[in-house]
Amino acid sequence: MSIMFLLNTLVAGTIAILSLFKQKESIKWVWEYAGEKGECLHMLGCHWAAIAFLSLGGLLINRHTFSLVFVHQLLYKGLYLITSVLPKVYRKEYNRIPKGMACFFVVWCAVLPFLIPWSQLFQSS
Q: Is 18 helix (H, G, I), strand (E, B) or coil?
A: helix
3-state DSSP: the chain helix, strand, coil percent, rounded to 5?
80, 0, 20
Range of the domain at 113: 2-121
* pLDDT confidence band for 53 (50 / 70 / 90): very high
Q: What is the pLDDT of residues 61-111, one digit of tens each?
A: 988 889 999 999 999 999 999 999 999 999 999 988 999 999 999 999 999
57, with CB counted inside 10 A (0-12, 13-18, 19+), is: middle
Domains in the chain, number: 1
- The reported pTM is 0.87
Q: How many helices (H) and strands (E) does the chain have?
A: 8, 0
Q: What is the pLDDT of residue 32?
A: 84
In angstroms, the Cα distances linking 24 to 11, 17, 102, 103 are 18, 12, 20, 22
* pLDDT confidence band for 5 (50 / 70 / 90): very high
Q: Are 67 and 117 in contact (CB under 8 A)?
A: yes
Q: What is the pLDDT of residue 125?
A: 60
